[in-house]
């Protein structure tokens, strides 16, 4: 697989999680910042290689082979992110771009040794699950902070939005994965939350709460 093919497979994988019946050409083009016509060309190629099933105008789904390939790419991406943060001292908002390159390094032995070196982590620095060598993904129990009951405590376990802006906001508020959040109150009018983190009161907008996973 070329780097370009891998990028398509990965994007189709992520979009499949949202629309499992079939992924649109335009959606893929949007994610890859390319044109619909380029996507059509590539879908034909991926279909010839039996990585996707594709019927003109009907959207595309991954075959078993494509699904496994996608999980291996995601595995590599997330393991490298763990390496960058845990071993090299990058912050969680700096690692995505570099991992986008590292995920295309080919050696299977490399990734399995890296996995062992990192202690077989089950989640990346943003709380996203890491597929194991067989492609099995351990489901991480989680709820959005916007949807939990009030008067209870939770651990932060992940973020839905991994944008730099959001991650930097969390850094500023000293919210990290593992932080304990006690939900004090929810405002009826706009769903703003009052929470307590490390004994400190904090007001959190619904948009924030809607992008933070807790357990």
The answer to whether 70 contacts a second copy (rule: CB under 8 A) is: no
CA proximity to 125, closest of 155, 162, 150, 173: 162
Residue 143 binding partner per list a second copy, DNA, none, with a CB distance cut-off of 5 to 8 Å that depends on partner kind: none
63: left (phi over 0), alpha (psi -120 to 50) or beta: beta
Tell me the per-residue interface mask from 35 to 64 with DNA, x by CB under 7 A, - otherwise: xxxxxxxxxxx--------x-xxxx-----
Other CB atoms within a 10 A radius of the CB of residue 145 amount to 23
- The Cα 77–Cα 102 span in angstroms is 7
List the beta bridge partners of residue 155: 180
Q: What is the DSSP letter of 205?
A: -
- At closest approach, how far in Å is the CB of 160 from DNA? 24
- The Cα 190–Cα 206 span in angstroms is 7
Tell me the per-residue interface mask from 102 to 131 with a second copy, x by CB under 8 A, - otherwise: x--xxx-xx--xx--x--------------
Tokens linked to 28: 């893929």
- At closest approach, how far in Å is the CB of 101 from DNA? 15
Per rule CB under 7 A, count of chain residues that contact DNA: 26
Q: Which residues contribute to the site for a second copy (CB under 8 A)?
A: 84, 87-90, 94, 97-98, 101-102, 105-107, 109-110, 113-114, 117
Q: Which residues contribute to the site for DNA (CB under 7 A)?
A: 2, 4-5, 24-27, 32-45, 54, 56-59
């Amino acid at each position: 697989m070329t780097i370009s093919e891998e990028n398509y497979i990965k994007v189709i994988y992520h979009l499949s999680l949202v629309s499992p019946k079939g992924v649109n050409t335009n959606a893929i083009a949007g994610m890859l910042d390319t044109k619909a016509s380029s996507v059509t060309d590539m879908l034909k190629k991926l279909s010839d290689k039996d990585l996707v099933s594709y019927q003109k105008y009907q959207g595309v789904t991954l075959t078993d082979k494509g699904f496994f390939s996608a999980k291996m790419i995601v595995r590599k991406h997330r393991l490298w992110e763990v390496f960058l943060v845990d071993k090299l001292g990058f912050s969680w908002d700096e690692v995505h771009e570099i991992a986008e390159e590292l995920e295309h390094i080919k050696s299977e032995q490399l990734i399995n040794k890296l996995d062992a070196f990192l202690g077989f982590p089950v989640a990346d620095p943003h709380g996203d699950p890491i597929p194991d060598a067989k492609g099995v993904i351990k489901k991480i129990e989680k709820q959005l902070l916007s949807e939990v009951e009030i008067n209870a405590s939770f651990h932060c376990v992940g973020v839905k939005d991994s944008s730099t802006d959001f991650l930097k906001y969390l850094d500023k508020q000293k919210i990290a994965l593992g932080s304990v959040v006690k939900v004090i109150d929810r405002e009826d009018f706009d769903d703003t939350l009052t929470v307590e983190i490390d004994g400190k009161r904090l007001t959190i907008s619904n948009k924030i709460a809607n992008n933070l996973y807790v357990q």
